[in-house]
Amino acid sequence: MLFDKVAILGIGHIGSSLARVIRRDRLAGKLVAFDASADHRAKAIELDIADAATGDISEAVGGADLVILATPVGSFAELASAMAPHLAAGSIVSDVGSVKMAVIRDVGPYLPESVHFVPGHPIAGTEFSGPTSGFAELFHGRWCILTPPPGTDSKAVAKVTQLWEAAGSMIEMMDAGHHDRVLAITSHLPHLIAYTIVGTATDLETSLQQEVVKFSASGFRDFTRIAASDPVMWRDIFLNNREAVLDVLQRFSEDLTALQRAIRWGEGEKLQDLFTRTRAIRRSIIDARQA
Amino acid sequence: MLFDKVAILGIGHIGSSLARVIRRDRLAGKLVAFDASADHRAKAIELDIADAATGDISEAVGGADLVILATPVGSFAELASAMAPHLAAGSIVSDVGSVKMAVIRDVGPYLPESVHFVPGHPIAGTEFSGPTSGFAELFHGRWCILTPPPGTDSKAVAKVTQLWEAAGSMIEMMDAGHHDRVLAITSHLPHLIAYTIVGTATDLETSLQQEVVKFSASGFRDFTRIAASDPVMWRDIFLNNREAVLDVLQRFSEDLTALQRAIRWGEGEKLQDLFTRTRAIRRSIIDARQA
């Protein structure tokens, strides 16, 4: 048994998937789901992925030796402030948020000295949300990035590592700021662009819009899948990784303007050169078994 | 037997897939593959997807009652000019190009009065290229858009329709200009954006680039698949659907700038509103069975 009591705060797509792993592998003596939504709490019990479900934060985290924050990152500060007085000495607090600097900024100051903070980010998920959408295999073969600040208790880091390894993940240790830069390009910018293009299409006149749906197999539909991700979660990500997102977005916009100019002036070679270069990175992803 | 002799000009991903359909269903007495690449010609024979393969255009189209252009659209004018003197009276010329106005502009003027021109565009394909990448099921359950100019012989249109129905496609008749507008948003803009973001990532410093590959499962990898599509084919599409692409690109850029501003100024509601609206279009695509 890895933990006596685990509290998962937010029993949505990621939280419920992790709960399923913990139940499957009997990693905790007791697993409590905290969620503000009565519907989510009822679902967690109905699906039998938690021993108890509560809307009372002190009940959730009291006596827990591991607390995992799995709500949208915009709620972390309030959650940390509310749970702090009830945290057990020596317990571990971790999270699954898609940004890490803001999480350290929002959660860190509330935690007592005796509590170990090990921020984490499983690079996994689908476009679906809520407790029913989770599954235990979600993290299998995927990376989980941990960003413990320097000086974090190594035993606490080891236990969080063991948890994600049980989920089938590969672990990467990273500086939080570096994490935010890497994810800005690999995840946040792609989502922003997908949301934008789908938004552009929904603003078209109704007749054209129906045809966009009909003929979406030609490229558009891949963007709609990404743009169906949870709205509140993604709002919070953009608001909390502002600098890194704006930086890569600026680069992207410059590159797009250059392509726009090449199309306008019929510069075929420039287009073909880029389109040939981009093929190589696909090859690397296939070789890295992340395709 | 639908045709006595079919000539497919360009035995790549789409051409070879259509050849497989024609062979499977015995739709032609004879099937000849024309390709400038000796390697592609050899592959076509080795794979047994054509009765003959040739680099001689007169040999390919001579006596054919159906000629299908399946090379990148930038080569159509030259191909049409070269094949025109050898076309049989009463024969049908069709194509699979992703743009339709430019194809009518480039091919139409070369064709003798006695030849029927039925431009087409199967909305299907993968990121792979070449004759080995084709498969007969590629068009199954997908749309094929035909854009015959007003006054086109209805029997010729019916025969091309039958061919694509045999491939398992659903047929849509459309004005060529309208086709180009619809595809600009559903296909050309998504590809342009995917190429751009993958290009932006390849311009990052080497260490960061390796991490982009490693953590690509977080959104980026979906773009790399699209950005692995054939470079020459896509160069030609952008050069030949310039106005429609520049128009939707302008709308997209405005929308992206608005989002950029919302992120900079922390306008969470604007972000959440858009992210909620975009979910609905995904639902429509699933309902239309195009997901």
| Whole-number Å distance between alpha carbons of B174 and A184 | 41
ipTM for this prediction: 0.92
pLDDT at A34 over 80: yes
Do A154 and A37 lie in a common domain?
yes
Domain range for A55? 3-174
Cβ neighbors of A171 (< 8 A, separation 6 or more) are A143, A144, A145, A146, A161, A164, A165
CB contact under 8 A, B281 and A200: no
Residues of A in contact with B125 (CB under 8 A): 218
Do A18 and A162 lie in a common domain?
yes
Pick from A154, A174, A194: which residue ends a domain?
Answer: A174
Supply the pLDDT for residue A195. 95
Pick from B175, B210, B226: which residue ends a domain?
Answer: B175
Do B69 and B142 lie in a common domain?
yes
Comparing alpha-carbon positions, the chain A residue that sits nearest to B219 is: A187
Residues of B in contact with A288 (CB under 8 A): 213-214, 216
Beta strands in chain A (DSSP E): 3-9, 28-34, 52-54, 66-69, 92-95, 116-118, 120-122, 143-146, 170-173
Do B232 and B250 lie in a common domain?
yes
Do B60 and B170 lie in a common domain?
yes
Banded model confidence at residue B209, pLDDT cuts 50, 70, 90:
confident
Minimum-distance CB partner of B235 among A224, A251, A271: A271
Q: Where are the alpha helices (DSSP H) in B108-214?
A: 154-166, 176-183, 189-202, 206-214
Tell me what the mean pLDDT of segment A234-246 comes to.
Answer: 97
Supply the pLDDT for residue A290. 72
Minimum-distance CB partner of A252 among B190, B200, B276: B200
Residues of B in contact with A202 (CB under 8 A): 277-278, 280-281
Comparing alpha-carbon positions, the chain A residue that sits nearest to B271 is: A235
Minimum-distance CB partner of A182 among B212, B221, B275: B212
Q: How many domains does chain B have?
A: 2
Tens digits of per-residue pLDDT, B237-263?
999 999 999 999 999 999 999 999 999
Tens digits of per-residue pLDDT, B8-67?
999 999 999 999 999 999 999 999 999 999 999 999 999 999 999 999 999 999 999 999
Supply the pLDDT for residue A288. 81
Do B116 and B224 lie in a common domain?
no
Best of B178, B235, B261, B272 to disrupt the A interface (most A CBs within 10 Å) is B235
Best of B171, B214, B272 to disrupt the A interface (most A CBs within 10 Å) is B214
In sequence order, what DSSP letters do the residues of B82-127 get, joined into one string? HHGGGPPTT-EEEE--S-SHHHHHHHGGGS-TTSEEE-EEE----S
Banded model confidence at residue A124, pLDDT cuts 50, 70, 90:
very high
pLDDT at B291 over 80: no
Do A127 and A221 lie in a common domain?
no
Do A222 and A127 lie in a common domain?
no
CATH number at residue B135: 3.40.50.720
Pick from A174, A201, A226: which residue ends a domain?
Answer: A174
* Both structure tokens of B102: 């430019």
Residues of A in contact with B283 (CB under 8 A): 228
CATH number at residue B238: 1.10.3660.10
Do B135 and B87 lie in a common domain?
yes
Do B170 and B226 lie in a common domain?
no
Do B21 and B71 lie in a common domain?
yes
Supply the pLDDT for residue A209. 85
| Whole-number Å distance between alpha carbons of B225 and A225 | 14
Q: What is the interface size between A and B, counted as CB pairs within 8 Å?
A: 301
Q: What is the mean pLDDT of chain B?
A: 95
Banded model confidence at residue B96, pLDDT cuts 50, 70, 90:
very high
Do B168 and B221 lie in a common domain?
no
